[in-house]
Amino acid sequence: MAKEWSSLQAILGKLADLGADRDVVLFALGGGVIGDLTGFAAAIYMRGVCFVQVPTTLLAQVDSSVGGKTGINLPQGKNLVGAFHQPQAVWADLDVLGTLPAREYSAGLAEVIKYGPVADPAFFAWLERNMDALMARDHTALMTAVRRACEIKAAVVAADEREGGVRAILNFGHTFGHALEAGLGYGALLHGEAVALGMLMATELSVRALGLDSQLLQRLKSLLERAQLPVRAPYLDPERFLQLMRGDKKAAAGSIRYVLIPVLGQACLQVAPDALALEAIASHSASVTK
Q: What is the CATH number of the domain that holds 201?
A: 1.20.1090.10
Supply the pLDDT for residue 93: 96
Q: Which whole-number Å values give the CA distances from 143 to 64, 93, 110, 156, in the listed order?
A: 17, 10, 16, 20
**Using H for helix, E for strand and C for coil, what is the string for 238-256?**
HHHHHHHHHCCCCCECCEC
CA distance 268 to 172: 9
Phi, psi (rounded to 5 degrees) for 162: -100, 20
Q: For residue 163, name the pLDDT band (cuts at 50, 70, 90).
A: confident
Domain boundary among 46, 61, 96: 96
- Name the least confident of 114-128, 138-152, 188-202, 248-262: 248-262
Amino acid at 244: L
CATH assignment of the domain containing 53: 3.40.50.1970
Measured distance CA(31)–CA(2) in Å, rounded: 11
Tell whether 86 and 35 lie within a shared domain.
yes
CA distance 73 to 167: 20
Choosing from 62, 96, 130, the residue where a domain stops is 96
Contact 50, 20 (CB under 8 A): no
Q: What is the per-residue pLDDT across 58-92, written as a single tens digit (0 to 9) for each?
A: 999 999 999 999 999 988 778 889 999 999 999 99
Q: By residue range, what is the domain housing residue 172?
A: 102-283
What value does the mean pLDDT take over residues 147-171?
91
Which of 96, 119, 152 is the endpoint of a domain?
A: 96
- Backbone torsion region of residue 76, taken as left when φ is above 0, otherwise alpha when ψ lies between -120 and 50, otherwise beta: alpha
Q: Please check whether residues 110 and 254 belong to one and the same domain.
A: yes
For residue 260, what pLDDT is reported? 98
Parallel, antiparallel or unpaired: strands 50-55 and 25-30 = parallel
- For residue 49, give the DSSP letter: -
Q: How far is CA 61 from the centre of its chain?
A: 12
Task: Specify the range with the lowest mean pLDDT, choosing from 28-32, 114-118, 162-166, 169-173.
Answer: 162-166
Give the pLDDT confidence score for residue 79 in this predicted structure. 87
Report the percent of the chain where pLDDT is more than 70.
99
β-partners of residue 27 are 52
Residues facing 28 on adjacent strands: 53
Q: How many domains does the chain have?
A: 2
Q: Are 118 and 236 part of one and the same domain?
A: yes
Q: What residues act catalytically? A: 47, 69, 111, 153, 163, 167, 171, 174, 178, 191
* One domain for residues 143 and 255: yes
pLDDT digit string (tens) for 188-217?
A: 999 999 999 999 999 999 999 999 999 999
Residue 6: is it exposed, middle or buried by C-beta count within 10 angstroms (0-12/13-18/19+)?
A: exposed
